[in-house]
């Protein structure tokens, strides 16, 4: 399952909010998203042209399991590289929740073969692994430094051929890797990690099993909610964009689960997935990322699919945080989930929206409890501790509500 998630380290995350003359104002921000997107049927046959355009001559082809081989995709890509006279070496074997071991292998291979361009063929896991290799290959120290808080300022150029709509990594500067020692799942960011180009052919996602498709849909929904849950007031434009993208997912998600060969539905989901995470709908506002942080412990511990983990985590987090801002959850309920506003009791509406999300996720085949993920009650304390104190953490998490270990434990218990 090549479904991966990002936590977001944009500038806007740092400040919870600015208080100015008694009101909240939109945060100052910068936005720079210079990836060249090539979208549509058969576009993978142009890969060589774009590698050349962005300066590659010796390419590391990085991919996951056998599906890129079996489907003939890898052969088509190689053919297009051959056509442009480009050299390449291969490194397959990326697993979901990609590991540091393969990253070290990729770094060594790049150096040995003098690769000057990394091409990721796959979903978020493959792209994230490729990003780690791109940064590590030209860094003197241990690449893991970047996942301990160091910003990536230099990396080999990188292109992607996206085969799963989910992570948004194809248009983002972020990467999430799990370190095998300690099983820490951590993220990094840096403009140098943004892919130079991304090839998006929705037809390539048609061969995914429905469960993986549903995991991707869930991840995209989570990227939108993580931005929606903000303490910044008066951010109508990004609210409305997020709501529009959520409505798209609610419309297209069930259609693609019902008919995997619905190209239009897959195309809409693919573009929504990119827009959900390139941060054009997250600028100028604080963001949450609690659900991602809490989920990362589950996928690190039980190796479950990130999207499946998020399906269990989100309703619990939202229920726990509901009273922090009832009207925000009510707004989502009304505008996104079509709930009637209960003007006498907005909390009822807010809850109805969370219930609608829960039903939707169940309807596309996602799990609803820790048990379904294979997670155990006795691990809760440990996971909550790692989420709050592990590695670079300092005791709390959450951009929307500041949560301590006890809160996180309570949230995990809501998932039982």
By CB under 8 A, name the binding residues for a copy of itself. 23, 25-41, 43, 202, 233-238, 240-241, 243-245, 247-248, 251-252, 263-265, 267-269, 271-272, 275, 280, 283-284
Q: Name the minimum Å distance from CB 34 to a copy of itself.
A: 3
Q: DSSP class of residue 198?
A: E
Q: Name the minimum Å distance from CB 257 to a copy of itself.
A: 15
Nearest C-alpha neighbor of 182 from the set 100, 64, 105, 125: 100
Beta strand 23-24 with 19-20 is antiparallel
Which residue's entry shows tokens 């910068």?
Answer: 30
Q: Which is nearer to a copy of itself, 213 or 386 (CB)?
A: 213
Q: Which is nearer to a copy of itself, 236 or 344 (CB)?
A: 236
Task: Bin 93: left if φ > 0, else alpha if -120 < ψ < 50, else beta.
Answer: left
* Pairwise CA distance, residues 189 & 175, whole Å: 6
Q: Name the minimum Å distance from CB 304 to a copy of itself.
A: 28
Which residue's entry shows tokens 């590391």?
Answer: 60
Q: Name the minimum Å distance from CB 283 to a copy of itself.
A: 7
3-state secondary structure 159-185: EEEECCCCCCHHHCCEEEEEECCCCEE
Q: Which is nearer to a copy of itself, 16 or 247 (CB)?
A: 247
Torsion of CA 167, 170, 174, 175, to 10 degrees: 70
CB 122 within 8 Å of CB 64: yes
Q: Name the minimum Å distance from CB 202 to a copy of itself.
A: 8
Q: Which is nearer to a copy of itself, 160 or 386 (CB)?
A: 160
Q: Which is nearer to a copy of itself, 23 or 394 (CB)?
A: 23
3-state secondary structure 135-164: HHCCCCCCHHHHHHCCCCCCCCCEEEEECC
Q: Which is nearer to a copy of itself, 46 or 303 (CB)?
A: 46
Q: Name the minimum Å distance from CB 267 to a copy of itself.
A: 4
């Amino acid at each position: 399952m090549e479904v991966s998630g990002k936590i977001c380290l944009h500038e806007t995350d740092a400040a919870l909010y600015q208080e100015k003359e008694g009101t909240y104002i939109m945060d100052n921000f910068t936005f720079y998203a210079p990836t060249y997107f090539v979208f549509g049927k058969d576009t993978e046959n142009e890969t060589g042209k774009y590698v050349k355009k962005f300066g590659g001559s010796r390419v590391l082809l990085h991919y996951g399991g056998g599906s890129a081989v079996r489907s003939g995709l890898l052969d088509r890509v190689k053919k297009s590289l051959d056509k442009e006279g480009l050299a390449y070496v291969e490194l397959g074997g990326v697993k979901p929740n990609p590991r540091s071991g393969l990253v070290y292998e990729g770094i060594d291979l790049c150096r040995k073969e003098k690769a000057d361009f990394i091409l990721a063929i796959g979903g978020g896991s493959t792209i994230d692994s490729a990003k780690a290799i791109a940064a590590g290959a030209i860094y003197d120290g241990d690449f893991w430094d970047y996942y301990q808080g160091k910003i990536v300022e230099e990396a080999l150029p990188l292109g992607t051929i996206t085969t799963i709509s989910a992570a948004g990594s194809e248009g983002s500067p972020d990467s999430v890797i799990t370190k095998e020692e300690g099983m820490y799942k951590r993220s990094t960011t840096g403009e140098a990690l943004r892919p130079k180009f991304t090839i998006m052919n929705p037809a390539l996602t048609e061969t995914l099993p429905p469960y993986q498709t549903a995991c991707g849909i869930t991840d995209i929904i989570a990227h939108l909610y993580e931005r929606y849950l903000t303490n910044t007031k008066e951010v109508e434009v990004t609210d409305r964009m997020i709501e529009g993208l959520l409505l798209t997912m609610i419309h297209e998600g069930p259609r693609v689960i019902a008919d995997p060969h619905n190209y239009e539905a897959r195309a809409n989901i693919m573009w929504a997935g990119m827009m959900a995470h390139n941060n054009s709908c997250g600028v100028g506002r604080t963001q949450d990322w609690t659900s991602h942080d809490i989920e990362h412990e589950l996928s690190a511990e039980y190796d479950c699919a990130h999207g499946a983990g998020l399906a269990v985590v989100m309703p619990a987090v939202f229920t726990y945080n509901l009273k922090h801002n009832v009207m925000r959850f009510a707004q989502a309920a009304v505008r996104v989930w079509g709930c009637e506003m209960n003007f006498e009791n907005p909390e009822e509406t807010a809850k109805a929206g969370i219930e609608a999300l829960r039903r939707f996720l169940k309807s596309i085949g996602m799990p609803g409890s820790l048990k379904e993920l294979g997670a155990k009650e006795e691990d809760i304390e440990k996971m909550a501790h790692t989420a709050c104190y592990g590695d670079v953490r300092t005791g709390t998490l959450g951009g929307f509500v500041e949560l301590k270990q006890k809160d996180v434990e309570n949230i995990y218990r809501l998932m039982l």
